[in-house]
Copies of this chain bind each other. A is one copy, B any other.
Amino acid sequence: MRSTRRAVDVADLVARAREGQVRAVARLISLVENSEPATLRTVAAALAPYTGHAQVVGLTGAPGVGKSTTTSAVVTALRAEGKRVGVLAVDPSSPFSGGALLGDRVRMQDHATDDGVFIRSLASRGQLGGLSAAVPQALRVLDTARCDVVLVETVGVGQAEVEIASLADTTVVLLAPGMGDGIQAAKAGILEIADVFVVNKADRDGAKQVSRDLKYMQSLGGRHSVAGAWRPPIVLTVASRGVTADSGVDHLVAAVAKHRDWLERTGELDRRRQARAAAEIEAIAVGEVRIRLGAVHGSAALGVAAARVVAGETDPYSAAAELVARL
C-alpha cells in the first residue's frame, strides 16, 4: 500500500516563496506552525540562508487602541514606497486559528489582492499563554519571501508585549486616549520596551494629555539621556483616516525607518538579533532536553527516579544528575 501523503518538497516551496508566490508562503508558515520536529527542522534549515533582510516591527497595545487599523494604514504607506510587507497577527489569548481572526479584520482585506503584501495570523500554541514558538520561524518565512518589513501585531496583554519586544527589531507601543489603562499599562514596563510610541485616536479628547504623560515618564527615566541613545519618539495618529496629510501615519512610518537606521548605524541591530538568536537556540535546546527527559509523556526513567526519591533511596539532585548524565 502506498502512502497517499506526498512528501513535502521544502526546497521547491522556498524557491517559490523567494519568487513571492503567496501560496508557497502560506504553505511554509503552515509547516512551521503545525509540523512535527523533523519537518520543522528541514524548513528552518532551508530558510536560514535567506533571512536577515526584513525589519521586524512589533506593534502592541491594549485591546481597543486601534492596532489593526494602524497596522493596515502602515501597510498602505509602506506599499506606497514600493516596499514588500508581511503582517503576522498573533493573538496569544485566542484558542482559534488564524482564519477566523483575520476574517474579522475588514481593514486588512484592503490588502488581500495586493501581491506585495503577505498577511497571516498565528494562534498561540505557546506554553503558559506565551507566544507560539512558531512565530520566529514564521518571521523567517516572510523574510525569505523578500519582505522589507514584517509587522507583528499582538494584543498587549500580560507578557505578550514583552515577548514581542524580544522578537522585534523595532517595537511600537500604541496607546489611545480614554482607555483609562493607557498610562497604567505604560507604567507596567512599556517604557522599557517601546522604540516608538503611538498615541492613536489623536482627534479625541485627552490625546495630548496621554502624550504629555508619556513625555513626563520619559523624563523620569534617564537612560535616554545618554549621548547617542535612542529616545523613543511619540507620534500622534488618527489611523482610521488611513494615509492622509493629517493622519500622522507617514510620521509613524518615518519614525520606524529612522529607528532602523539608528539600529544599523550603532551596531544595535546585530546585538539585538544575536541576543534573540541566543535566546531562541537556548529555548529550543532546553525543550529538546525536556523531551529527552520524557517530561511530556513521562518516561520510565523519570518515573523510576521519582519512585526512588519518594522511597528515600535517593534525592532529587542525585536523580537529576543521573538523568542528565544519561542524555
Residues of A within 8 A of B (CB): 37, 40-41, 44-45, 47-52, 136, 270, 273-278, 280-282, 284-286, 288-290, 293, 295, 298, 302-303, 305-307, 309-321, 323-324, 327
Contacts and interface: CB of A to CB of B under 8 A. Distances in A.
Contact of A48 (B307, B312, B323): B312
Contact of A314 (B48, B285, B314): B48
5 nearest CB pairs, A to B: A284-B320, A44-B315, A278-B306, A277-B306, A277-B309
A324 B270 CA distance: 25
Counted per complex, copies of this chain come to 2
Contacts of A311: 52
Contact of A275 (B306, B320, B323): B306
11 contacts: A44-B317, A273-B310, A277-B309, A277-B310, A281-B302, A281-B305, A281-B319, A281-B323, A285-B293, A286-B290, A289-B324
Nearest to A159: B128
A274 B289 contact: no
A41 B307 contact: no
A134 B41 CA distance: 37
